[in-house]
Chain A
Amino acid sequence: MVKKTLLALLLLLLLVLITCEKKKRNALRVGHSGGYLSAALYAAQDSLVNVDIQHFNSTSDIAYTLLLGALDAGFVEAEKLAAFAELDGFDQLTVVGKVTYPYGATLILRKGLNVRLQELGGLTIAVSEPTCVLLDTFSSDAKRLGADISNVKYKYMVFHAMLPALESGDVDAAIIKGTYAVAALQAGHSILYQNWEVQPGDECCPAILDQAALVLLSRREKLEAVKPFINALVFAQKSPPDQLRQSVAEHSVIPFEMLRGQPVPEFSLESDKLLETFIKHKHEDGDHDDHDHHD
């Protein structure tokens, strides 16, 4: 008797699970990697119906999942887009939006290190390239503020390697793009210097990329279904900055206070033209995107 009841319950549970799964399958599946850049998504999240928002650790995982068709739309890092576009099956995807964030020269100090701008001498700072507008901005600002940075040691590495390098103590500080600032704060490092007035237009901060940080890709066959979702994002983007920050704080583990000093990422509509720009830029640059990790 008990066994039969249990069996019936189990079957019922299975049935419920299957219907749930089906319901979910009808929903629009959107992938994102979280963080401050997802601000518009977080703000829109509560008003969205029938959208299944999935969190990924890496945007390349979102890309593979999109390719497979297990996601209908997803945010992929802009710097990875040109490489992603070379994979078979990319033609089924299309660019529908982007998230931009100002370049912003930011000097991050390693966790626990407590120095002033004037005391940077002798420290090792990670920078992306010897000639980088971020570094130039920082140098001229430092000079203006009377800091002597002539005996600072520089270590060259790509941006996404800088936080791990700070973490492992390889470098004492790093000059990063604004997009990495929140992640650095979250990791417990501190911002010593920040200047959002950066004139883009060189190797490390190309003007052509339009300061795009994320690109929203959609599967072509789902374009119609994605439209309301995009509209919701655009609408959410219009909220006041502090409200956007508040939604980020609510939906993620980033505290509101941390976001207060940082500009708000901006979601906007975009088309495949952006992709062409990226690909053109990649070809002009040659092997620049070959993320050589040997310093």
Chain B
Amino acid sequence: MAMNKNKYEVKGARSTFRLVLRELGYFFKGAALNIFSPEFLVVFIPLLGLWEALPRLGAVPRTLVPPPSDVAMAFWEMLTVRNFLGDVASSMLKFFMGLGIAIIAAIPIGVLMGWNIAVRKRTLPLFQLLSPIPPPAWVPITIILFGIGLPMQTFLIFLGAFYPILFNTYQAVKDTDPRYLSSARVFGASELTLILHVYFWHAIGAIIMSVKTGVAMGLVMLVIAEMYGGRTGIGYVLNEAKDYFQISRMVVCMVTLGVIGWFLIEVLKFVELKLAVWKGVR
């Protein structure tokens, strides 16, 4: 790992910038190709057409099942009149705070639990007892502890993402092949070195996988959290649109959440490709 770093440092800021640009290009190209592949478009476009046609032909009530064109118009109206991007930004702030804290907390704890049986015996039962509690069940006590607002919402998102990351990390670290450990130990590796250079890298694939699960759970909790308190955010707009019978706005929020989730998964896939490059090569 050290070698790579040196190489980049020598290259200088300008080419680093170019490198970042190039990687971003790869990322967006790859992500776009996933959605706009001919194979998928063959399925997607007829589906979209059906969705547009059914309400327009009166097969389903249009005000209850708005066609995509209505949804697009509602989206445009929300962007221009209501500052919907502000809501998206507010949701993303909460989401990334929650997810970030979950990652920062769960990965080290998971690694420690997987690394050492003494740590595991002292902590695992606690997490095993707490984790089956469905995260939404935490809402009332969270409101009591944090009141209503950003800390409570962040905490709920954190709760949603924490356990999947923790358990997957722990499991993957625990399952590290003992022969990797043995060969490093014979060379004199300390436990810290083992954690940083062997356990972690052995588990990296599973960790990224678990962050994907964390993203999904975090989005669930985002919507739930935004139903309580606060007057911004996609979940709030979603619920408000429901309350005031604006179905197309509801659909805009749902689609937005879907796109955000998809985008984050694509980002993680890309991160996996970069971090676990050794897994892909053959």
Contacts and interface: CB of A to CB of B under 8 A. Distances in A.
Contacts, number: 59
B281 to A, nearest CB: 50
Contacts of B246: 83
A168 B149 CA distance: 6
A289 B237 CA distance: 15
Contact of A89 (B61, B81, B232, B244): B61
Interface of A: 58, 60, 63, 67, 80, 83-84, 86-89, 157, 161, 164-165, 167-169, 289-295
A167 B82 CA distance: 24
Contacts of A167: 147-148, 229
A293 B245 contact: no
A294 B90 CA distance: 12
Interface in B39-64: 61-64
Given A89-B64, A168-B148, A293 B244 contact: no
Given A60-B244, A84-B245, A87-B63, A293 B149 contact: no
B63 A88 contact: yes
A157 B246 CA distance: 20
Contacts of B148: 164, 167-168
Q: What's the interface size class on B, roughly? A: 20 to 34
Interface string B225-246: 0000111100011001011111
Contact of B64 (A88, A161, A169): A88
Interface string B153-182: 000000000000000000000000000000
Nearest to A59: B243
B82 to A, nearest CB: 7
Nearest to A87: B63
Contacts of A83: 244-246
Q: Which 5 A-B pairs have the closest CB atoms?
A: A88-B61, A168-B148, A168-B149, A60-B243, A88-B63
Contact of B236 (A87, A89, A293): A293
A293 B63 contact: no
Contact of A80 (B230, B236, B237, B244): B244
